């Protein structure tokens, strides 16, 4: 049996989350924070010597093309997180793909819609993508209920769908909020169980999580444990995970 795989991903985006909670934040400030976190994540990945897939918006790529270039040069996969984080039209699929490819020099084959919203697979396929990673097949209160969606990757309408990892049986999502809010040993036990069952883990974080968010008065479950402490927690986790699995990009996983 091949070694288990880890698909580590970051959604590289303008930090528009405060808008959801009625806080004001300018686009320039959103981009500044997104970029600051992005540089921190690249440093962290370089220290740990692991590769990731960076689902990047067109907006933040145009704001910091040097970081996009650096990401590609350091071996990370550049994938699309649409063009804008706060708005979506069908044309944004092709526009973000073309922008990211032109600025990074990489062919872009992966898509993840902001906020894990659903997009017709036919649109994704028509825009030239090979895989979609927009599904979190579980229940997230106030957002969506996707208990009935497949937990494991599948192909439909010419697109490989690679859902985020949830645990077997009760489908606890292993996404960023769980990592942030659960004690590390608990999260590791859940990750280990899922890795052994599925043979892979698909994980998501955001660069802005690794900054101090205290001044934005966000709910505790989002803002607690942010900044450097969270970065240290992630490094401990990655160090643990490296002994159990091989880190590959979504693109490589899709090609296996």
Distance CA 212, CA 62 (A): 24
Please tell me the distance from the alpha carbon of residue 178 to that of residue 205, in angstroms, as a whole number.
Answer: 10
Count of residues that bind Zn ion according to CB under 5 A? 3
> Does 13 help bind Zn ion (rule: CB under 5 A)?
yes
Q: Which residues lie across from 173 on neighbouring strands?
A: 166
Q: Which is nearer to Zn ion, 118 or 155 (CB)?
A: 118
Contact 27, 87 (CB under 8 A): no
The count of residues in the chain is 256
Using CB under 5 A, which of the segments 3-11, 137-145, 163-171, 235-243 binds Zn ion? 3-11
d(CA 27, CA 22): 15
Q: Which of 11, 135, 209, 226 binds Zn ion (CB under 5 A)?
A: 11
Take residue 203 and report the two structure tokens written for it.
């994980």
Stretch that binds Zn ion, among 4-12, 147-155, 224-232, 236-244 (CB under 5 A): 4-12
Interface characters, 97-116, with Zn ion (x: CB under 5 A): -----------------x--
Distance separating alpha carbons of residues 68 and 76, to the nearest angstrom: 10
> Cβ of residue 206: shortest distance to Zn ion, in angstroms?
7
Task: Select 13 or 77, whichever has its Cβ closest to Zn ion.
Answer: 13
- For Zn ion, the nearest residue by Cβ is 11
> Residue 115 or 171: which CB sits closer to Zn ion?
115
Whether 110 contacts 54, CB under 8 Å: no
Q: Distance between CA atoms of 83 and 114, rounded to whole angstroms?
A: 9
Measured from the CB atom, is 175 or 247 closer to Zn ion?
A: 175
Tokens representing 50 are 């692991």
Q: From the CB of 16, what's the least distance to Zn ion, in Å?
A: 9
- Binding of residue 135 to Zn ion (CB under 5 A): no
Q: Are strands 131-132 and 159-161 parallel, antiparallel or unpaired?
A: parallel
In the complex, the smallest distance separating the C-beta of residue 256 from Zn ion, rounded to whole angstroms, is 26
Q: Are 124 and 96 in contact (CB under 8 A)?
A: no
Is 58 a binding residue for Zn ion by CB under 5 A? The answer is no
Contact in structure between 211 and 40 (CB atoms under 8 Å): yes
Piece in contact with Zn ion (CB under 5 A), picked from 11-19, 58-66, 96-104, 124-132: 11-19
Q: What are the residues binding Zn ion (CB under 5 A)?
A: 11, 13, 114
């Amino acid at each position: 049996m091949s070694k288990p795989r880890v698909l580590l991903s970051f959604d590289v985006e303008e930090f528009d989350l405060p808008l959801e909670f009625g806080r004001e934040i300018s686009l320039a400030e959103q981009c500044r924070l997104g970029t600051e976190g992005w540089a921190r994540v690249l440093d962290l990945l370089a220290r740990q010597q692991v590769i990731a897939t960076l689902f990047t918006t067109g907006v933040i790529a145009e704001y910091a093309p040097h970081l996009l270039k650096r990401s590609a040069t350091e071996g990370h996969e550049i994938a699309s997180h649409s063009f804008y984080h706060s708005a979506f039209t069908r044309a944004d699929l092709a526009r973000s793909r073309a922008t990211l490819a032109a600025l990074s020099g990489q062919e872009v084959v992966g898509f993840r819609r902001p906020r894990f919203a659903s997009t017709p697979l036919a649109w994704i396929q028509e825009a030239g993508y090979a895989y979609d990673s927009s599904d979190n097949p579980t229940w997230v209160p106030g957002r969506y209920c996707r208990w009935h969606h497949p937990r494991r990757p599948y192909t439909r309408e010419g697109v490989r769908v690679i859902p985020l990892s949830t645990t077997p049986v009760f489908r606890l999502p292993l996404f960023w909020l769980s990592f942030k809010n659960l004690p590390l040993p608990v999260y590791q036990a859940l990750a280990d169980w899922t890795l052994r069952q599925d043979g892979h883990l698909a994980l998501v974080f955001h660069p802005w999580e690794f900054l101090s968010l205290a001044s934005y008065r966000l709910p505790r479950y989002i803002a607690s444990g942010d900044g450097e402490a969270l970065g240290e927690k992630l490094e401990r986790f990655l160090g643990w995970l490296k002994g159990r699995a091989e880190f590959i990009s979504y693109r490589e996983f899709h090609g296996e």
